[in-house]
Amino acid sequence: MPKNLTVRLDDELAADTEALARAEGQSLNETVKTALREAVERRRDDPEFKQRVRRIIEEDTELLERLAK
């Protein structure tokens, strides 16, 4: 199910994003989705990021196990 998301951009970033969308021949919406998708992919390939996520998972697992007692 698609999710609507409101993002507030400063004027410069908004203008840059609109210019990028126009240059790419894409809608602003598609340009933002592509940028987010690429950002997620970069982080998934980053070993340090993966390590931070694993640490968060461990911490959350401990917390949830404590609550489940």
Answer for the pair 20, 27: CB distance below 8 angstroms, yes or no: no
Name the token pair of 42. Answer: 């970069």
Q: Grade residue 21 by pLDDT with cuts at 50, 70 and 90.
A: very high
64 pLDDT higher than 90: yes
Q: Grade residue 57 by pLDDT with cuts at 50, 70 and 90.
A: very high
Question: In terms of Cα–Cα distance, which of 5, 38, 2, 3 is closest to 20?
Answer: 38
What average pLDDT does this structure show over 22-50? Answer: 96
44 pLDDT higher than 90: yes
Backbone angles phi, psi at 2, to 5 degrees: -60, 150
25 sits in the region (left: phi over 0; alpha: psi -120 to 50; else beta) called left
What average pLDDT does this structure show over 33-59? Answer: 96
Give the model's pLDDT for residue 69. 87
